[in-house]
Structure 1
């Protein structure tokens, strides 16, 4: 008998028919002799609707009240699913995040999990019942309801799987698994049967929308195996596990892209210690996350510093850079909000020469100019013009022949 945590996203439970379909699937899993804990998101676009209502009612939208409002969507969904499970002959109990033992920090709208104390969930399992936990929520040390942020239900599921010692955490969504690229951009993108935590973490950090990056980080840190699969076909999806040294390894596993990028350049900055620290401290103090950073070679005692930030932070970041420019001695500040990032990812590239050359040659052949480059042991990312990013994804996907299976290390 296995203990499984099954998480269902908003599209999986978007209406009463979908809710009953999920209940039937959980019931079948239980009847096969498994113990099941369910984590559920708000139905469909309900979170978006609650945010819309808040914006119409208030211009201040205090964080404490926003968390109370947003988490209502998950509470509604968990109660409805429990009712559907009872109709399917499966006894079930609903639990809010606080009832399930999720203790968080005091940060409203994007709280972090501090501790999980799932005593009530364990008691329900021991009593032969299915606990249904509202995702993306907890309670702060001061007793306030907190929201874990977008994608927080994935993190709830992984954290609960770790706390309970579950055999597997299944993340059900509206896609059949993890693909070698976005199927909307590359029609012949291939679903992967298996991928490592490190590869999936790079993918989610570089444009792959599901599962949530925080959940993959948590799973990797605590060794929680994941199964990303569809709640519409119920077919096996993609297994995410720790990389095994003796398994065959793809040179490149996936090509991802991200259009939520913008670039800022400080021109003519004096080349002396402390300049970069002063600039990026100012950005950090305003909670602006900087991604790729490039500092050009100094010429005549001055240099250029370029960096990327999320497009939603572009205007704020430009304003801060211009505010800092006089103190830094910069001659000018220029920005470009119309860039994008394309990344090739694969655990095999760290021991296989020539990957970077193939990437750069493929893009150059089609006249795609690379503005910035960022790498890790298993990733190469190129910042390019946004209007060329889909072409770049298709070209690189073809260059590594990902549609016909992974290129393997010899």
Structure 2
């Protein structure tokens, strides 16, 4: 449970800066100047920093040179050091500007998690120390992505975990807003690198933002959006490279998007593969063995779909999506499993991508799915798998058709228009 405390007086903002925002000494100086100006204007601020861009990957690579199968506990001990570099450098930069600041690890802040190394969940936050620092006019600079488990071991929250750290602190401190500074100016209707007509959204509802994050939008980690929604933390995405109001993620139906078209954005996910196992459903034992294998390897899958191989054969198969990077290790495990259980033929299709229309009430509007398929069909793009829900219409296509599909759908659903 979070201990919630609200300081009196000035507004309190928790501000998270990602790896590109603090990716060099020059970038750290720019952010420090921005924070100093806000401090002089009377804002109370708690900073949460990621490791400098590329640092976490470097640390994982070092571990792989020693032991590709290093224990999760030791990996957490190693990669959590990346954030300590950025928070200490930021504290120095602020102190040189006359701003009282203090760098803090997750342990010092008392961010308590469970013991699931590499993917820990925050269970409680003790705000006493942070509150004391704020009352003394000191800017706390907290290492994102990390916490401490009941045994006193360092844990990490998984990739993108600094977003979750920021939201958890904002919830516990009852901050006026949690601001996520990144290398884009907000949340867009789709990836502007694919379609230059993509439009930045001034506001977006939590339900839609969560769906977009889960479906591949990289601007916010899904866990942070869920956390903010659960604890009703106002969340804003801003650019650390340019001025602007960014995108506010807010509650209720009062946003302009609730009154707009039901499709509010297009999310994409690349580097996927389809794995089909013939005849799997002829035995529940085989199906259970597959699920156990996926769980053991921590392979996230979706579109688990029973398929008829053809109209003549009654044999059913299962087809699902997974990250292409996980295919080879999974195939090896399934081949081992086939020695004791005849799983049937394995069919792999690589270089797949998922395109998802995201919005409100989509499943109830059959015409939207028909329109989506017609648009793709007119571009000679074959939809290989489909998945629908109240907030998304997703299809799997060849990755080579991704840009063409996104631009066609973005135009057809008029997402470039206000």
When normalised by structure 2's length, the TM-score is 0.90
Residue of 32, 47, 68 corresponding to 2:77 = 68
| Secondary structure at 2:302 match in 1 | coil
Give the aligned CA root-mean-square deviation in angstroms.
2.2
Which of 198, 203, 220 aligns to 2:229? It is: 220
* Aligned position for 1:23: 32
Shift in Å, 1:265 = 0.9
Give 1:273 deviation, angstroms: 5.8
Contact 2:274 2:350 in 1 (8 A): yes
Structure 1 CA distance for aligned equivalents of residues 288 and 67 of structure 2: 38
- 1:339 aligns with 352
Report the alpha carbon displacement of residue 129 of structure 1 after superposing the two structures with TM.
1.4
For 1:180-220, what per-residue CA distance to the aligned partner results, in whole angstroms no more than 9, with x for missing partners?
11111112211111111111111121121121122112112
Work out the CA distance in 2 between the residues paired with 1:45 and 1:304.
41
SS of 1:232's partner is: coil
Which segment drifts farther, 198-207 or 282-291?
Answer: 282-291
**Contact 2:266-2:410 within 8 A present in 1 as well:** yes
2:54 alignment counterpart: 45
2:158 alignment partner, SS class:
coil
Tell me, yes or no, if the aligned pair for 1:325 and 1:333 is still in contact at 8 Å: no
Q: Aligned residue for 2:409?
A: 396
2:14 is the alignment partner of 1:14: no
Answer whether contact 2:281 2:287 (CA < 8 A) is retained: no
- Compared CA separation, residues 180 and 80, structure 1 to 2 (3 A): same
Match of 1:156 in 2: 165
C-alpha distance in 2 between matches for 1:67 and 1:330 = 36
1:283-314 deviation line (CA, Å, top 9, x unaligned)? 22332222111113586542121111121221
Q: Within 1, Cα distance between the matches of 2:347 and 2:397?
A: 16
Which consecutive residues of structure 1, in runs of 5 or more, have no partner in the other structure?
406-410
Residues 18-63 of structure 1 deviation map (CA, whole Å, 9 limit, x = unaligned): 2122112112222332211110111222222223333334445343
TM-score by length of 1: 0.92
SS in 2 for 1:354: helix
Q: Which runs of 5+ in 2 are unaligned?
A: 1-9
Structure 2 CA distance, aligned partners of 1:165 and 1:355?
A: 40
Higher mean alpha-carbon deviation, 226-235 vs 111-120, is at: 111-120
Equivalent residue number for residue 408 of structure 1: none
Aligned with 2:99 (options 84, 90, 93): 90
Provide the rounded CA distance (Å) in 1 between the counterparts of 2:65 and 2:275: 34
Shift of 1:377: 0.5
In the alignment, structure 1 residue 143 sits paired with structure 2 residue 152: yes
Q: Tell me the residue number matched to 1:368.
A: 381
CA distance in 2, matches of 1:171, 1:339: 30
| 1:93 Cα deviation after fit | 1.5
Looking at structure 2, the residues matched to 353 and 61 of structure 1 have their Cα atoms a distance apart, in angstroms, of 49
Verify the 8 A CA contact 2:281 2:318 in the aligned structure 1: no
Which range moves more in the overlay, 292-301 or 236-245?
292-301
Instruction: Find the residue that maps to 1:12 and give its secondary structure.
Output: coil
Of 296, 320, 336, 1:307 maps to 320
Match in the other structure for 2:6? none
Counterpart position of 2:305: 294
Counterpart in the other structure of 2:274: 263
Contact 1:189 1:403 (8 Å CA) reproduced = yes
- Aligned position for 1:250: 261
2:3 corresponds in structure 1 to: none
Query: Does the aligned pair in 1 maintain the 2:113–2:147 contact within 8 Å?
Result: yes
Please say which of residues 340-349 and 4-13 is displaced more in the overlay: 340-349
Q: Distance in 1 between matches of 2:108 and 2:54?
A: 25
The equivalent of 1:281 in structure 2 is 292
Once the two structures are TM-superposed, the CA of residue 231 in structure 1 deviates from its matched residue by 0.4
Moved more, 161-170 or 279-288: 279-288
Instruction: Describe the SS at the equivalent of 1:143.
Output: coil
**Conserved in 2, the CA contact under 8 Å of 1:270 and 1:329?**
no
Q: Secondary structure at the match of 1:43?
A: coil
Q: Secondary structure at the match of 1:153?
A: helix
How far has the Cα of 1:66 moved from its partner? 2.4
